[in-house]
Structure 1
Amino acid sequence: MEKRIKVFDDYHELVPFSMEKLADSIKVIGLPEPKQQFVLNQVKSILYDGIPVEEIFEYVFKLLKEEGSSSAAKYKLKRALFELGPTGYPFENYIGAILTQMGFNTDVGVILPGKCVNHEVDVMATKEGKAFIVECKFHSSDERKSNVKAPLYIKARFDDVRDTWNNKDVEIIGGWLITNTCFTEDAIAYANCENLMLLSWDYPKKRGLRAMIDLFKMYPVTCSTILSKKEKQELINRNIVLCKDVVDNPKVLNQFRISMDKKQQIIDEFKAIVAHNG
């Protein structure tokens, strides 16, 4: 039996390498099948026991970037979410935009009175007379998971607000916890027990944050392989978080002292990212 290669994951744990998962991550970005197989074959040639997943990621990203397509930008989506920091506020705006695409009316950063204290809620999401208190847990790297303290916190806030809620037109029905990384098993168990909604990068399975982003094409500007880190941050500071915002209003790039050629490259990249079916 062929020895299974083990890799160090983002949590510095030694785990079996899954070529199937890598294949899925490449397939979902819409890379043509012959190129998918080329990338997988190239990765096989560099594998060794104890290789960090970050090294594999960087190698695949380099191969995709050489293709000159939007595939590289979409492949780095998870890392792109980390670049929405350093504060959690851009992530809250980003989640608000996704929930709006899901059909909710959203308010970001609202103050709600509770029985004991007032609460600053990251996002208030309302649809068809039902409302959720949404807590956004942003992490700047994949090394941190959201543990059970997070759902405990949102449950306490929900209970406190519900006790004084008096809007007859809208029923507040629950708490919703959203993170750009993952939840611990205890966090998931507690949330399920208390009927809290959870959304993380890969939870619920096949309906996680990655799936929502792909479905609604809500790719952040930090996906760009052309914009500099400073330029990305300047867009975020102006509340321009989505690639589609730049596609719809290319004039936002006029603030940068860059050539017309680079501006067009950025616009073309964002158009390809948003239009790509994946």
Structure 2
Amino acid sequence: MDNLNSKNNKVILIKKASGDEEPFSTAKLERSLLNAGAKYETILKIISDIENWIYPGITTRKIYARAFKILRNEKTTSSVKYSLKQAILELGPSGHPFEILIGKLFQNMGFRAEVGVVLVGECISHEMDVIATKDSIQHLVECKYHKDQGKQVGIQVPLYVRSRVDDIISKRNGMLEYQNYSFTGWVITNTRFSIDSVKYSICSGLKLLAWDYPAGNGLKENIEKFKIYPITVLKNLTIKEKQYLLNEGIVTCSQLLEKLDSLINLEIS
């Protein structure tokens, strides 16, 4: 398949979520569809449609919406994967459902996870969004959720998370029950980190997880690998029904399967 960047050999500039412009690339669209597991014939159809329809100044969001609509019409399971980013954005406005999602992700990795726990530090107490523990390993996690996918997590966040985590570690290193434990601080977001955030975290030993960071092992890949799909991917639920379930603390599809009585309350069959 040719990776064309133009329509009739003319470069088409599109607008990203950040507001910046970039040339439209069929190669990027092709990669997204391949990553979603779309069939070759479907990819050809979508790219052909987008190339004939695209115009200067169109947003990546509109391109995504059109591509997804075609995927959905093709009735392929890849449409669920391709809609994952939008489904995460629909978890808001509160960041709490995202924290539950991350807790479930760690659980599927074999950790015991707690959400929204206040921990005593050497100097003061701190609320951590997620604590994940397995054997003598403990992860202290700060979640940064954004409804705007163009948002970046700036350097201020890893700076204060590092200091909070260090205060907790300092206290726990002196506690008998945490002898021989290793502690790791995390910042996890559904969007992206600034360059300075990444540089500082690498230098300071803080772990970062963003939508596509680290490359090939980001949040998207981990959600798919451990099958922690949010209920917002379900197309047969209305916005009101999804919000009801989220308010009940039911964030993932696996949670919904465990609490089928919640579907009865919604009168969904």
Instruction: Using structure 1 for the length normalisation, give the TM-score.
Output: 0.88
SS in 1 for 2:133: strand
* Preserved CA contact (<8 Å) 1:114 1:162: yes
Structure of greater relative contact order (alpha carbons < 8 Å, 6+ residues apart)? 1
Match of 2:118 in 1: 111
Partner Cα distance (2:39, 2:257) in 1: 24
1:220 aligns with 2:230: yes
SS in 2 for 1:51: coil
Partner Cα distance (2:45, 2:257) in 1: 31
Q: Summarize the alignment of residues 20-169 of structure 1 with structure 2, pairs less than 5 Å apart.
A: 20-165=27-172, 166=175, 167-169=177-179
Q: Summarize the alignment of residues 5-20 of structure 1 with structure 2, pairs less than 5 Å apart.
A: 5-20=12-27
* Preserved CA contact (<8 Å) 2:42 2:71: no
RMSD: 1.7
Match of 2:220 in 1: 210
Q: Summarize the alignment of residues 233-252 of structure 1 with structure 2, pairs less than 5 Å apart.
A: 233-252=243-262
Match of 1:171 in 2: 181
Distance 1:202 1:252, change over 3 A: same
Distance 1:45 1:15, change over 3 A: same
Q: Comparing 83-92 with 177-186, which one deviates more in the overlay?
A: 83-92
SS in 2 for 1:240: coil
Partner Cα distance (2:192, 2:18) in 1: 11
Partner Cα distance (1:226, 1:69) in 2: 16
Q: Comparing 143-152 with 203-212, which one deviates more in the overlay?
A: 143-152
Shift of 1:49: 2.3
Partner Cα distance (1:177, 1:236) in 2: 23
Partner Cα distance (1:31, 1:44) in 2: 18
AA in 1 matched with 2:98: F
Distance 1:211 1:232, change over 3 A: same
Identity of aligned residues (%): 37
- The unaligned stretches of length 5 or more in structure 2 are 1-5
AA in 2 matched with 1:204: P
- The unaligned stretches of length 5 or more in structure 1 are 264-278
Shift of 1:59: 0.9
Distance 1:170 1:242, change over 3 A: farther
Partner Cα distance (1:247, 1:72) in 2: 21
Distance 1:113 1:192, change over 3 A: same
Shift of 1:202: 0.1
Deviations 1:222-270 (A, max 9, x none): 0122211010111111111112233454332111134xxxx2xxxxxxx
Shift of 1:172: 4.2
AA in 2 matched with 1:245: Q
AA in 1 matched with 2:239: K
Partner Cα distance (1:3, 1:247) in 2: 50
Match for residue 200 of structure 1 among 207, 210, 219: 210
Q: Comparing 161-170 with 219-228, which one deviates more in the overlay?
A: 161-170
* Preserved CA contact (<8 Å) 1:7 1:49: yes
Instruction: Using structure 2 for the length normalisation, give the TM-score.
Output: 0.91
* Preserved CA contact (<8 Å) 2:42 2:74: no
SS in 2 for 1:11: coil
* Preserved CA contact (<8 Å) 1:151 1:187: yes
Deviations 1:152-209 (A, max 9, x none): 1110101111121113346242211100000010110110110110000000000000
SS in 2 for 1:37: helix
AA in 2 matched with 1:168: Y
The ranges of structure 1 where at least 4 consecutive aligned residues each deviate by more than 6 angstroms after the TM superposition are: none
AA in 1 matched with 2:217: R
